[in-house]
Amino acid sequence: MLYTELIRLWDEAVQAVDSRDWEGALSKLTQITEPTSRTLFVSACVYIALGQLETAIKALDQTIAKDERLAVGFFQRAGAHMMAGRLEEAMTDCIWAQKHMRGNSVIDYRQLGLRYKLHTWQVMYNAAAVHCRMGLWEKASDLLATASQERGGGRAGPLEAALESVSKGEVLTPLLVPEGEVFRPRKQDVEQLQQRDFLGKAKVISSMIPNDDFGGFEPLRLQKPGYYEPKGDGSQDSRYMRLRSTYMANGPGELTIPSGGLVFVFSDGALTVSPQSSTMGREA
């Protein structure tokens, strides 16, 4: 599969996700014949949004198979396993997610195209949620108490609320990557899909050389002596001349010509500025 085709389908699927068109997103994702771990993660998120947990778990299995160190993949699959009632599998995924945090308190996935930060306390929260479903309330409380020690922006509130729920014997709702947050292709790759006109559009350009009838490519013009010499309506005295001093216009219709400028002199004395930059003719 061409990489450009992969990017196009991936981008169109993400646009459908943004519009909450889950079926439309799946129609694009299923056309990808060589999915990556990130496009498979997108598929899993769409299946979860549609409530198709078994298919979502299979997509996450493939995601992790392609990237076995993707902590957010284990985290998402742990939540899906819990929702499907597979507690042992959910606990195993929490353990693997914690392992692949690699000692970091947070992993920011924005560089990979996912606008989401996975925190260690979120992984521990899901582990506590599994213990709640197993009836191990004390272990759930211990996990939440340990997680609450990691103070930071927005961490204390949900953990304290979770501790209070556990103390009341209430089962915790598993955490997942927020709906609509998926891996996205790089902006630069998407922009390169647009067609570009490197040659530009043809333009008709009129020559500044009087009576020039050449219609070809300028660099291919034959370079002959006097070839650029304009013709002055049958006059034999027309010629190029270079001004020794600046000529100031005396009225409307006249030009001011700096010293050293080339002019073409017709037989009637009229002056015409020439585009030539080389020295030609005689000095005026």
Note the pLDDT tens digit of each residue in 44-91: 999 999 999 999 999 999 999 999 999 999 999 999 999 999 999 999
Ranges of H-type helices in 100-186: 120-134, 137-148, 156-167
| Number of CB atoms found within 10 A of residue 266's CB | 17
Q: Please, which pLDDT band fits residue 225 given cuts at 50, 70 and 90?
A: low
**pLDDT at 254 (0 to 100):** 76
The alpha carbon of residue 36 and the mean position of all alpha carbons in its chain are separated, in whole angstroms, by 18
Mean pLDDT confidence for 204-220: 61
Model pTM above 0.95: no
Per residue, what are the HEC states of 18-46? Answer: HCCCHHHHHHHHCCCCCCCHHHHHHHHHH
Mean pLDDT confidence for 220-230: 58
Q: Say which residues have a Cβ less than 8 Å from residue 23's Cβ, sequence separation at least 6.
A: none
CA dist 133 and 139 (Å) reads: 11
Residue 162 structure tokens: 């979770």
Nearest to 191 by CA among 27, 1, 4: 4
Q: Where in the chain is the domain with CATH 1.25.40.10?
A: 3-191
pLDDT at 280 over 50: no
Nearest to 147 by CA among 169, 134, 129, 168: 129
**pLDDT at 24 (0 to 100):** 96
- 174 against 275, higher pLDDT: 174
> 87-99 and 120-134 helices cross at what angle (nearest 10)?
160
Least confident window among 51-60, 80-89, 155-164, 195-204: 195-204
CA dist 35 and 117 (Å) reads: 23
CA dist 140 and 45 (Å) reads: 27
Sign of the CA dihedral with 74 first, then 75, 76, and 80 last: positive
- 251 against 1, higher pLDDT: 1
Q: Please, which pLDDT band fits residue 222 given cuts at 50, 70 and 90?
A: low
CA dist 277 and 268 (Å) reads: 24
Tens digit of pLDDT for each residue in 18-28?
Answer: 999 999 999 99
**pLDDT at 153 (0 to 100):** 46
For the domain covering 3-191, report its CATH number: 1.25.40.10
Q: Phi first, then psi: what are they for 247, rounded to 5°?
A: -105, 120
